[in-house]
Amino acid sequence: MSHTMPLLGAGTFRLKQDDAYQSVLTALKQGYRHIDTAQIYGNEAEVGRAIQDSGLPRDDVFITTKVWLDKLDDAHFLASVEESLSKLKTDYVDLLLIHWPLMDGTVPMESYLTQLYVAQQRGLTRHIGVSNFTCQQLDDAIDILGPGRLYTNQIEVHPFLQNRTVVEHCEANDILVTAYMPLAVGRVLEEPVIVAVAEQAGCTPAQATLAWIRQLGMATIPSSTNPDHLQANLDSQQVVLSAEQMAAFEGLDRGLRLADPDFGPDWD
C-alpha cells in the first residue's frame, strides 16, 4: 500500500456531529480515500466512527488531522495527538499538521516542530507538515527539521486568492501544497469566467475549479454535506482543462483572503 496522499480529499471544516459522520461515510462509499479533519473542528470522533463504519481497511484511507494552538507546548502536544488518535479510532494518522504558526511566541517554533517530529518517530503519524505557514516560516521550519521532512503546507488557494508566492516557495522546497477553501465558499459558482470555462469543458464551475487546482499539481480538500456535490467533486478528476482554459483562471486572482483570523501570520 502506498501512503501517498490522494490529491483529492474530503474536508470536514465546519461539519458538526451527524453532518460530519454522514459526509465522511458518504464520501468513503463514493470512493474518496483521503479525509481531512482537525482537533479544533470538534468532529474527530464522528470522522473516526464513519471511517470505522465504512468497513474499509485502515491502510486504504489517508487521514489528516491538525494540532491546535493551545496544544503546541511540550506538556500538551503528544497527549493531544494521542487523544486525536483515540477519537479517530486508529493507532496512527497518515499526516499530522501544525494547524497555524504560533505568532505570540509563547511556544517557540523549534519546540513544537520538535514535538511534531517526535510524534512521527513514535509512529503516531506517517507524515508531518504545516498549515498556514508563510515563506519565512517555511524556511524557519526547514532550518529546524531539515529538508525533506515536511510533506505539505496546507494553505488557502482558490481562483480569487492564488497565493503564488507561497505556492512557488513550497514547490521550490519540494513541499506539496494542499489547497483549502478551493471553491471560495461557493463564490466560484457565480464567476462568469469560470462559468464559461465550465461550459466549454462540459462540467460544472466547481469541477472546473477543482480540475484547475489538480492540474497545477496541488492537493485539495473541498467539503460538502450534499452527496451529489461530493460525487461531483470526485468526478472532477475526469475533467481536463486546456492550456487556454487554465490561463483563464490566472486573471481571477484578486487577493480575496477568506481565512484571516486575528492570530494569523503576516501573509506574503
Query: Annotated binding residues, as ranges?
Result: 99
Cα distances (angstroms) measured from residue 76 to each of 63, 121, 157, 259: 21, 17, 31, 26
Could you list the residues known to form a binding site for substrate, using ranges. Answer: 99
Task: Give which of 67, 154, 176, 179 is closest to 114, Cα–Cα.
Answer: 67
Alpha helix ranges (H) inside the chain: 17-30, 44-53, 77-88, 109-121, 135-145, 164-172, 192-201, 205-215, 227-235, 243-250
Longest CA span, the chain: 55
| CA 8-3-211 angle, 5° bins | 20
The answer to whether 188 and 159 are in contact (CB under 8 A) is: yes
**CB proximity list for 67: less than 8 A, separation 6 or greater:** 39, 77, 80, 81, 84, 96, 97, 98, 99, 112, 116
Distances in Å between the Cα of 136 and the Cα atoms of 110, 140, 143, 166, 222 are 14, 6, 11, 9, 27
Query: Alpha-carbon distance 8 to 259, whole Å?
Result: 20
Catalytic (active-site) positions: 41
- The C-alpha angle with vertex 229 and arms to 191 and 223, in degrees rounded to 5, equals 85
